[in-house]
Structure 1
Amino acid sequence: MKPTILDEPPLEFSGGARHIDPRHGIADYGPADATSTAVRTIRVGIVGASASIQGLRYWLDGCRQPIAAKNSRLGRLFVPFPGFDTGAGFRSTLVWDSRLERPIRDRDLKRLADLKPQEAVRAAVEMYVAELDVLDEEPGCDVVLVARPEYLPERPTPQVDPEAPWKKAPPAEPVDDFRAVLKAAAMRYSRPMQIIRRSTWDPSFTPPDGDKPRLQDEATRAWNLHTALYYKAGGVPWRLPRESSDLDSCYVGVTFFRSGDLTTLETSVAQVFNQRGDGVIVRGAAAKVSRHDRQPHLAQADSYALLADALSRYRKEHRHLPARVVLHKTSSYTPEEIAGFRAAADDADIDTAELLWFPANDPVRLMRSGAHPPLRGTLYSLDSRWHILYTRGSVPFYGTYPGMYVPSALPFRMVETESSPEHLANELLALTKMNWNQTQLDGRHPITLRTANQVGQILRHLGPHDRPQGRYAFYM
């Protein structure tokens, strides 16, 4: 048993400058592509109620100017937003065009509140898709902002027997997620979407159900939203540094999800990322749940096809193959899966292939003296294969723990590897930063696994012959 404290891995920004924090790096140096393929203007389309379009535009116009940080002694955790303009920060600006605004009648949106939750989701998606169809024919649009309906029922209402209210209510029917269904329906469009709740631009708003969400401060909300918009428009906010001695690596996340009708077995999906953070989504073959460990697994031929397809898509995207592939998988590896993945790597002439398994949870917890959680970057090795890594925890750079709840560690098992546990853990820590929706250092999962649930929830609404978009920007 051996504990190790890893240094916070840096990120790369404009001109090769480095910083451990995304916001400080953008503010001090600019985005990673600032001197090459930078996105100078982002042409934005908007769909939603007229009042939402006006309110969102007003707030985003205000974000062109600097926004003060939250008043706190934690000056490194709460960072001022430099303003989204060509002279600071991202060195980019938003461009509006009335032709790219598609209002939805407010009275139609209010009727959603009278429908059952599942019916309301479907009706709302139909309204938005009708406007997205028109917007997709308009040239000169990079990203579409979707102002989420304010009156959409999000949770099913328990069916209580009025004659016997003391009886336990039967389970409510499941309700599809509006975000997932809309993104699946919009896969045929050429522009990524960003779905936004009204509370993002109007913190005084109270939802009809009275359940007011807990909001981040305004500067942090501006940081997160504009980072996502910059990435979805084709920009590179930051990337993982690569030393000259490092092998060109790509990281493949393999996870599983149930089909939309819940009648088929689990199906696999791979997410492929390189050091730049470019993601490629690949849908694999059907999986089977093993009787031995009750986990989903792939047949040998399907394992081969999955990695071979992922590497083929990688080559089309980047014009070359990597020298090293690291697989992150949410279930254990069977001998058939190992053989299939190994054969695909060999046939592609990949020098190094490393297999990691991420169990859903782990009974091991670390305690730190006092009331402080373990440090982010704490690696605890129980043996040569069994390790836990605290990707969430106290951050010395911030001087505090930025999360809300007691952090749990990220367990991983080394199945077939050539790198040291410390090297693999350092990569995992760095991959938690490749999340374009979050700019603080409090992500638990690496990017390969973090989006697994989101991608699966979207892909489950596609038909077997529907081809998903390849860019990660369409899923985040």
Structure 2
Amino acid sequence: MKLTTSRPSTTGRAMTIDLSIIELSPPRLQFGGAITHSDPKVGLLAAGPFDLRFGSARKDHIHVGIVGPADQVVAARRWLDRCSLEIPVLGNANLLKRPFPGFADAFHKQLVAPESSSIALNFDTNDNLARALQGDAYTAFQNVVDLYADAHTRLSSRDLNRPDIILMCIPDSVFAKVGSVERKATEEERKRAKTIQRTRESTQLDLFDDILDEVEQTSEDFLRRDLRHALKARALRNRLPIQLVTDALLNDTSRNQDPATRAWNFAVGLYYKAGGVPWRLPPNGPDTCFVGISFHHFRTTQRAIVRSSLAQAFSSNGEGFAIRGEGVPVEPNQSRNVHLSELQAFQIAQNVLSEYELRTGGAPLRVVLHKTSYVDAAERAGFEAALKDIPIVSMVTLVPSLFRLMRYGAYPPKVGTVCTVNNDRSFLFTSGFMPELGTYPGPHIPQPFEVRCLGSENAVAAAQDVLNLTRMNWNTADIRGKWPVSLSFARRVGGILDEYGDEDLMETSFRYFV
């Protein structure tokens, strides 16, 4: 649909504005059978997970280890038993709230959690967890991390009966004291945190704070340690994925999601982290590597603060991995809109290609780079030099925008609406009215991204990629994703790598970071 309107300019003359509006189709996902569907819950129930196509070599079960207080270990095993059966929704089922069919019916595997693969951290006469929580919050934080990590190491070190995934059960009382603690920061680090905050306040409208905070590091991140990140970093060292389990998952209360929704989200995340492929995008074009470029701070072993690039990369079939670029010293006047040098852009793109080829057996035919800041001349030169043998290269910037569209009726624009102004600037709505759900499942006015594209492809093609990648979050069955998976976990990945330190990564699979 194309609209032409006019309005007076500052000179008094009429100024023409051309608006071109198209609605992209909801992403169709592939599952184990021949069907495609935009809703993972429908597709999994009808055709099973995508990796059913790999045949009989797949194991028929997932071996689950459990670590936590004795009562939560029992509750977690009871929850796994519950997930093996059908769980109805509370109240009336609808397009958003669907019954959970049971793990085997959705994923064609059994959940196995033998007692020999469970480690209780407390007993009547030996409460290690209570002792770990003694003292100030920062000391207790490290003690708790060490206690859980030691148990994780015992299970991950097995030659036989090694679990595929470990549930880390964390009580509310532990989160209350050590879920997030103030770091013992140096004066230099505190000054840097203030610089980060001043930069944010001077370069970004308050309207964009919440949306960018979803994916970018904040000053609070810089001065605090997060229990989830610390435990995932230790699991990364042991090369055995974990899934954190809280009281909110295990217990039915009026404040929780209904049990069926909790089971769906838990099951998808567990299946992926244990090595499965729940669904993927259909291979409608050339083999593509999608790469999200972001930045995070971390501390070297010399306690020097550096700012490092971070690449979250995904192949067309959904295989994901994370690559950290070279660290650069933090300068006092370094802005939020930081850029790579030409050499750094070249190196991180080369590293992504090397890891992609290692995982898939060949180079991609197409590379799409996503950033939340514009690609400057040095970055473009570095990327293009590293990717010179790739037939198709696109560099896409996603910028939260003040642009708004009004739609007749009670609902905002549909998800997938792309509005192009004067054939120059394009805006994509990744939140809004969802035909699959028959409603707009959000509390606020949808905010689009401006899509800026460098390369041989246009902004509409770039928008379709972004929309598709909002459905590739294998940590949930919820289809209401705003950010593409190439960028959506940047803040979390950066926090985990900060806890991991400056050593070379032993494992890059995205299963360890979600």
Alpha-carbon separation, structure 1, partners of 2:361 and 2:371: 26
Structure 2 CA distance for aligned equivalents of residues 293 and 108 of structure 1: 45
In 2, the alpha carbon distance for the partners of 1:56 and 1:461 equals: 27
Query: In the TM superposition, what is the alpha-carbon distance from 1:458 to its structure 2 partner?
Result: 0.5
Give the one of 257, 264, 285 matched to 1:223. Answer: 264
Partner of 1:148: 170
Which of 349, 352, 365 is the aligned partner of 1:307? 349
Q: Would you say the 8 A contact 2:252–2:258 is kept in 1?
A: no
TM-aligned CA deviation for residue 403 of structure 1 = 3.0
Q: 2:102 matched to 1:83? A: yes
**More deviation in 284-293 or 116-125?**
284-293
Aligned CA distance change for structure 1 residues 385 and 56 (closer, same or farther; 3 Å): farther
Partner of 1:327, secondary structure, is strand
Q: More displaced, 252-261 or 426-435?
A: 252-261
Q: Which of 392, 397, 402 in structure 2 is aligned with 1:357? A: 397
1:461 to 464, 488, 499: 499
- Superposition map of 1:159-308 within 5 A: 174-204=223-253, 214-243=255-284, 246-260=285-299, 263-287=304-328, 294-308=336-350
Decide whether the 8 Å contact of 2:133 with 2:143 is kept in 1: no
Structure 2: how far apart are the matches of 1:237 and 1:114? 42
Provide the alpha-carbon RMSD of the alignment: 2.4
How many angstroms apart in 2 are the aligned matches of 1:467 and 1:222? 32
Query: What is the alpha-carbon distance in structure 1 between the residues aligned to residue 329 and residue 481 of structure 2?
Result: 30
Separation in structure 2 between the aligned mates of residue 189 and residue 284 of structure 1, nearest angstrom = 22
**C-alpha separation in 1, matches of 2:316 and 2:128:** 45
Distance 1:374 1:112 in 2: 51
1:44-193 matches, within 5 Å, as 44-72=64-92, 75-85=94-104, 88-105=105-122, 107-110=127-130, 115-138=135-158, 139-140=160-161, 141-152=163-174, 153=177, 154=179, 174-193=223-242
The answer to whether the Cα contact below 8 Å between 2:88 and 2:99 also exists between their aligned partners in 1 is yes
Long gaps (5+) in structure 2: 1-18, 183-218
Q: Which structure dedicates a bigger proportion of its chain to helix?
A: 2
**SS of aligned partner of 2:457:** coil
Decide which moves more: 14-23 or 33-42: 33-42
1:321-373 superposed Cα distances (whole Å, 9 cap, x missing partner): 11000001122212111000000001xx21011001123x3222233344423
SS at match of 1:266: strand
How many angstroms apart in 1 are the aligned matches of 2:348 and 2:424?
A: 25
**In 2, Cα distance between the equivalents of 1:269 and 1:247?**
25
Per the alignment, do residues 384 and 258 of structure 1 end up closer, same or farther by CA in structure 2, a change over 3 Å counting? farther
> In structure 2, do the counterparts of structure 1 residues 128 and 330 end up closer, same or farther at CA, with 3 Å as the change threshold?
same
1:431 aligns with 2:469: yes
**1:5 aligns to 2:23 (yes or no):** yes
Question: Aligned partners of 2:164 and 2:291: how far apart in 1?
Answer: 27
Which residue of 1 is the match for residue 418 of structure 2? 379
1:69-123, CA deviations, whole angstroms, 9 ceiling, x for partnerless residues?
3423x622111111012xx211111112222111101644345665443333222
Select which of 30, 33, 36 maps to 2:48: 30
Give TM-score scaled by structure 1 length.
0.88
Distance in 2, matches of 1:343 and 1:362, equals: 31
Deviation at 1:430, TM superposition (A): 0.9
**Paired residues of 2:180 and 2:226 also in contact (CA < 8 A):** no
Deviation of the 1:294 alpha carbon: 4.5
In the alignment, which residue of structure 2 is the partner of 1:164?
none
Q: What secondary structure does 1:342 align onto?
A: helix
**Paired position in structure 1 for 2:3:** none
Change over 3 Å in CA distance of 1:233–1:351 after alignment to 2: same
Measure, in 1, the Cα distance between the counterparts of 2:498 and 2:181. Answer: 20
Distance in 1 between residues matched to 2:134 and 2:394, nearest whole Å: 53
What residue number does 2:364 align with? 322
Q: Percent identity?
A: 33
Conserved 8 A contact 2:402-2:447: no
Report if aligned partners of 1:146, 1:193 keep a CA contact under 8 Å in 2. Answer: yes
Q: Alpha-carbon deviation of 1:455?
A: 0.4
Contact 1:109–1:149, Cα closer than 8 Å, also in 2: no
Is 465-474 or 4-13 further displaced after alignment?
465-474
